[in-house]
Every structure is written in structure tokens, then in C-alpha cells.
Structure 1
Amino acid sequence: MFFLLAFLTGVVINIQLICNSTLAKKIGLINATFINFFLAFIFLFIYKAIKFEPFNFSNISHVPFVFFSGGLLVIIITLLANFLIPKLPLIYSTIFTFLGQIIASLILDSIYGFQFPLGKLVGISFIFTGILYLIAYDYMEKRFSKKKIII
């Protein structure tokens, strides 16, 4: 069940990346990011209103300030994605995002006391090697396909 949800999340993220980058090309990077977060705010507000749960800010003073940086990071990620998606093929954007998430999760797991899984590091190496091969193949294909064939 969780694997299916993770798969669907990956599909939805890619659709969201395409929609956001297309919107950014049409109305501008900052405007598209603003619309993205404004719509998220509206939907969350409606969701809270439907559930009839009041906003509870009583424990907010106990939360360390660093945990509020997540919102800023999401804005930076959205800006970068909206900027990069039109400039890179979607497969590269997806793979590099995936690779970055895996590497960051391994580093954070090791910082928070979990054992660093050597097998996953080997898997990341295979993925990275495959990415380099794919990039080299695309580069060579584009480079040699532009040559004229003399008969």
C-alpha cells in the first residue's frame, strides 16, 4: 500500500513540476511561485474549515526556530524547479531530484544516529553511473546527428 502511495506521489510531483514550469514560462518565475503558494494556502484553509478544527498556535513558542525554515526551503525548491525544468529534459530533472533526495536522506540518517547503509551507497553509485552514461549518450547523439552525410 505504501509503495503504491510513494509511486503515486512521484507521478503527482512530476505533473506538478510540469504545470509549475509551464506557468512560470507564461507569467514569470516569481508570479508562478506566488500563485503556487497562494493556492496551497487557500486549499489548506478550506480543508481546515471543513474539518472544523480551529487553528492551534498555543504550542508554537516551544518549536525551535530552525524548524520554520522548511517553508523557506520549499519556496527555494519551487523557484529552482520552475527555473530548471524548462531548461532540462524532465527525465534529468526527475533523476537528479531523486538522487539528491537519496543522498540527503543518507547523510541525515547518519547524522541522526542511524547506520550508514553501504548497500544503498553502492546503489546510488550505480544510479549516478547510469545518469552519466545517459548524459554522455545524449551528448554524443546530438553531436554526431548534426553532421551532414556526404554521398
Structure 2
Amino acid sequence: MALSTTKMAFVLTFVSVVLVQCTFNNIRINAAEDNNDGKAFLNMYYSKVKAKDYNSLDNMLSDSLKRLTGNNGFSKMLIFINSKVSTYNSYKIEDYYVRRITGSVNEISYNYKLKVTYQKGTTEEIIGFKRLNGGLIKVNSYHAYSDLLIH
């Protein structure tokens, strides 16, 4: 039973598409070296917060967060937070989740839950950042909560 040319072309196309769509990824969760990279980035980020270097902080954002916040939107939010809680003092990592994907996709996502101490009190902050294909780490999410921000 021989396949016609049309059927053979269909089968080869189908097999080619299936093989091309296959991906391989290895996932590591909370690896020490990845967490150390994340901590180093946090130190750099909060040193810029302490120095009130808002332009540098805007440059640390991912493209998607830049589009979401608009021009200088992130720095305006940080200036507002600073006006409510005053000068940054320190942070403490409460929890973290770091995920490295290698293979067809290469990315590391870092998520930290922090207690951040400012001159007027403490805020709870969740910050997320990502490194794609060995590039620079960029902030892609940020959330700050405190009763100090409401008053």
C-alpha cells in the first residue's frame, strides 16, 4: 500500500511541525547561586532608593513595566512612597521564590517578599525581577503596602 504524493507531503509536514514544536527546559527552584544574584540586585536597587536616584531606578524596569507605568511613572510612585515614609533605612527578606528555566527558554525570575524599614515605619513590599537569556536583570513587578501610605 503506497502513499500518494499528497499524503506523503502531509505526513512529512505534520512530522516536521511536531518536531519543531518540541521544547526542552530544565527548571531549578531557589538555587543558592540564583538567590545570591537576586540579593545582589536587591542591594543595588535599594542603594539607589536610599540615594533617591530615581532616574536609575526607572532604567532598571522591564519594557512591559515601563509601558504600564508610563514616562517616569515608577519613579513618581517611589517619590510618593518616600514622601509618606521618609528616608529608606534597610530591608529584610521574609520569603523568596527564584526559578531558573534553561533549555529552549533561558530565564530566571526572582520574587522577594520584604519588610522594608523607613524613617517613619515599615512597609511590606513584594518585588519581582527577571533575567532573560543572560541579559540584565530588570524589575517587572512591584507592590508596597503599609498603613503609612494611606494617611
TM-score range, shorter chain: under 0.3
Indicate the structure whose relative CO is greater, using CA pairs within 8 Å and at least 6 residues apart.
Answer: 1
Structure with a larger share of its residues in helix: 1
Could you state the TM-score of these two structures normalised by the residue count of structure 1?
0.21
